[in-house]
Amino acid sequence: MAITVAAMETWLNRLLGAAPDAPRLPLKGFLEGIGQLESLVDVPSGTPVLVRGDTDCKPGEKVGKGDIRLRSMAETLNYGRSKGWIQVIFGHIGRDPKGSLDKVRARLAEILGCEVGFVADWLDPQSATILDAVPQAIRAAAPGSVILLENTRKYDVETVLWKAKPKDVPALAPKLAKLANEFAEKVAKVYVHEAFSAGSLDSSSTVVPAAMDRVALGKYEAGEFWGPLMDCLDAQLVVSSGLKIDKLDDLTAMIDRGKIRWVFTGGSLAMGLKKAAAELEGQTFCVGVAEDPAHADKPYYIPPARVEQAKKLIAEGRQKGIRFVMPVDFVLQDGRVSTTIGPGDQQLDVGPATGDYFEQKIGEFLDEVKSQSTPAVAFHNGVLGMFEDPKFEAGTRRFMTQLKRMKDAGVKVYVGGGEGGKALEKYGKEDWVTHNFTAGGTVLNALGSEPVPYLVALWMASNKASEK
């Protein structure tokens, strides 16, 4: 049944958290309300199935290089092939609307060992109408076929929700309802989400499910959520760092679960916490340009309100016995190592004394948990400095060895993908940790303060939360 414009308005308001009945559930609550791939076992051969795929990758010269996200889809796609479904995959690559999935199509064909069809132009952007080339390709496809649609971000409608506010919903609903209905009428009414990393408010992940008859999580995605992520909810130690202070929200949510006992920080998050800790003790601590209002438009800027939030977090955390481990020296923009930061300075890495201090505290953590009857869990997210530049990589490179140290001591060590995952690949080895996620943003959402948008959409679709 088609979704009406009014129902799409309701859907979007719930998705944006603006409706009184917007789903507000713990991660497990969302997952329990969404079917897994096996729930579609009765879908007949020859049925078109729409697959939101994890296509955002850069395949290297051979299978196994730069294509982990495509390989993560293989089990789901092979299941669909064994059932005789005609699977139509759609997804994005990067943020450039001119980016093409042509090389992704070729690598996916190698991974699956079959031909993968390709439709380069599939949508009229003005009317949000699916072009005839798509249903024609589906009609011509044999059972078990796989077809890939070109980069979804080629079309503006894919990203219109990125900055949308509730006040924008009435203007957006007609076109988004049309898009969802077009997919249901001309492509498929069965939808599988197998794009673990697709954590943005992309229409392909959050709007199209509104018009589907049946939806399900893919094999890999369900495994990540029900396995490693459930472990991370019980983490006793978290390493959280990065350029943006808004990770403070995610850290707060993680701490509020009551399991975390140790917090190691770097980047802007550490700067906010350092300043907050000093003020709690009646002292001052300058974080340089990060607190200069002239830099308010920069991602590393720390507003006064964030310092107040950090003070509350530290004060309440210390009452619960949480240890906050923060840098004690810094590598500044000109390469100087200093224990202080001047008004015009910017810290771009932690210094050697911090490396020593962090290693000491990791040792204390290991002593504390060695007598536990079950393995302790540590979650690492982000990097300790601007590691892309060799002048500011030492802190991150050194800390990677601490992940191995913890795993060797019996701790379950999880890396939250993103930059932390890139640092592990650059400075360490895969077996240094228990698991390295393929998606940083999705993991932070799942563990942090906001739900994963596509889980909200799939839960609503599964529970008929919108009136179609």
Q: What is the 3-state secondary structure (H, E, C) of 358-400?
A: HHHHHHHHHHHHCCCCCCCEEEEECCCCCCCCHHHCHHHHHHH
Contact 324, 263 (CB under 8 A): yes
pLDDT at 466: 40
Residue 420 in tokens: 């932390």
Low-confidence ranges of the chain (pLDDT < 50): 465-468
From residue 369, how far is each of 117, 244, 374, 446 by CA, in Å? 53, 31, 9, 25
Q: What is the pLDDT of residue 468?
A: 42
Phi, psi angles (nearest 5°) of residue 53: -100, 160
Question: What are 386-432's pLDDT values in tens digits?
Answer: 999 999 999 999 999 999 999 999 999 999 878 898 899 999 999 99
Q: How far is CA 334 from the centre of its chain?
A: 33
Q: How far is the C-alpha of 330 from the C-alpha of 336, rounded, in Å?
A: 8
Q: Is 449 exposed, middle or buried (0-12, 13-18, 19+ CB in 10 A)?
A: middle
DSSP classification of residue 429: -
Q: Return the closest-CA partner of residue 273 out of 233, 328, 219.
A: 328
Q: What is the pLDDT of residue 467?
A: 43
Give 449's contacts (C-beta < 8 A, 6+ positions apart). 249, 250, 252, 253
Would you put residue 202 in left (φ > 0), alpha (ψ -120 to 50) or beta? beta
3-state secondary structure of 70: helix
pLDDT at 1: 66
| Integer Cα distance of 126 and 182 in angstroms | 13
Question: How many Å apart are CA 139 and CA 375, to the nearest integer?
Answer: 53
Please tell me the predicted confidence (pLDDT) of residue 222. 97
pLDDT digits (tens, 9 = 90+) for 298-352: 999 999 999 999 999 999 999 999 999 999 999 999 999 999 999 999 999 999 9
- What CA–CA distance (Å, rounded) separates 462 from 33? 7
The model's pTM is: 0.91
Residue 424: phi and psi, rounded to 5, are -60, -45
The DSSP bridge partners found for residue 254 are none
Main-chain dihedrals φ then ψ at residue 330, nearest 5 degrees: -140, 150
Q: What amino acid is encoded at 66 in this protein?
A: G
Q: Is 176 helix (H, G, I), strand (E, B) or coil?
A: helix
